[in-house]
Amino acid sequence: MKKKVTRRVIAIGMFDGVHLGHKRVLKTAVDYAQKNNSETVVLTFDSIPKKQSGVLSTLTEKIRLLKSRGIKKVRILPFNKIKNLIPENFLKLYLKNCFCIVIGYDFRFGKERQGSVKTIKNFCKKVIIVKPVRYKSKIISSTLIKKELISGRIEHANSFLGQNYTFEGKVIEGLGLGKKLGFPTANLTVEKEKLLPEGIFVSKVKIGNKRYRSMTYIGRRPTLGLSAKTVEVYILGFKGRLYGKKISVELLSKIRSDKKFLSVKKLAQRIRKDLKITRRYFEK
């Protein structure tokens, strides 16, 4: 008795950030699979090209975001191992026996990005090319979202993502300066590849199953004469020990850029003002 072959609808892409454009690709794949009694499989990559600056989602975050869109099967491909494959070999290795392939309008693959929509059409009978999602005249992309984050336009970035920009970190012991100034903070260590825009932000923190209002600092503490990038979170209304725990931070709005103050006292005065802005934000 022959084993029944499951028909597969494959969506393929980098899916960094799983933004609104990606969500359209995923929905198209899921809908087509449901209509044609097939399973949806997502092929994505374990890293991004080195020339790109930081990721919007770590591999763990990306898998979680993909599964939240109804994707049950996610296959991770080793980017550095396959980036030099000629397009035809890539297709034979990873996309054989597919019923349908769903891709974004600008998807390219293989050695020197030689593989295109045309290459895939020659390989698979059914190829669905998904149109981009636009905001005014701009096409929503991971590159655009990174620019918005770095420029401090957090609200725009969150709108394009379709969710708040979030990062996870483990709480570690810091210098204790925040506590001395009257603003005890949780110091976080975050995965190196994660894009972290610098500045002071209104944020929310998730600890376990609870969410708290917070203010987040991402910077190099120039007032203290330091240069290493650090992440500190002041959690409103929270009392307790967090050392060793993993927490997630959602950026909501940028308050200001980081700067060097003439003294620690001046820094403390500015932090008090930042906290007032944070509280007002949540009172809206």
Label residue 147 by pLDDT band (50, 70, 90). very high
Mind listing the pLDDT tens digit for each residue in 74-130? 999 998 888 889 989 989 898 887 899 999 998 888 888 888 888 888 888 899 999
User: What residues form DSSP beta bridges with 12?
Assistant: 43
How far apart are alpha carbons 255 and 223 in whole angstroms? 18
Mean pLDDT of 240-261: 95
% of the chain exceeding 90 in pLDDT: 70
Its pTM stands at 0.93
Rounded Cα distance, 80 and 157, in Å: 28
48 versus 273: the higher-pLDDT residue is 273
Q: Whole-angstrom Cα distance, residue 15 to residue 62? A: 7
Which residues fall within 8 angstroms of residue 51, CB to CB, at 6 or more apart? none
Q: What is the pLDDT of residue 3?
A: 53
Q: Which of 214, 221, 210 is nearest to 186 (CA)?
A: 214
Q: For residue 254, is it left (φ>0), alpha (ψ between -120 and 50) or beta?
A: beta
Whether 102 and 130 have beta carbons less than 8 Å apart is answered as yes
Instruction: For the domain made up of 164-283, give the CATH fold.
Output: Elongation Factor Tu (Ef-tu); domain 3 (2.40.30)
The model's pLDDT over 150-159, given as tens digits with 9 standing for 90+, comes to 999 999 999 9
Predicted confidence at residue 51, as pLDDT, reads 64
Count of alpha carbons within 13 angstroms of residue 126, beta-carbon side = 15
More confident residue, 187 or 182: 187
d(CA 188, CA 192): 12
Residue 199 to residue 218: CA distance in whole angstroms = 5
Give me the chain's average pLDDT, please: 91
Q: Cβ neighbours of residue 233 under 8 Å, at least 6 residues apart?
A: 185, 186, 188, 203, 205, 214, 215, 216, 217, 247, 249
Cα-to-chain-centroid distance, residue 224: 30
pLDDT (0 to 100) of residue 4: 59
The first and second tokens of residue 280, run together, are: 């007002």
For the domain made up of 8-139, give the CATH fold.
Rossmann fold (3.40.50)
Q: What is the DSSP letter of 115?
A: B
Q: pLDDT at position 104, please?
A: 93
pLDDT in tens, 20-61: 999 999 999 999 999 999 999 999 999 877 667 799 999 999
Domain ranges of the chain: 8-139, 164-283
Which pLDDT band holds residue 163 (cuts at 50, 70, 90)?
Answer: very high
| pLDDT band of 1, cuts 50, 70, 90 | very low
CA distance readout (Å), 232 to 102, 132, 213, 218, 219: 41, 36, 14, 7, 9
Higher-scoring residue by pLDDT: 85, 240:
85
pLDDT of residue 278: 98
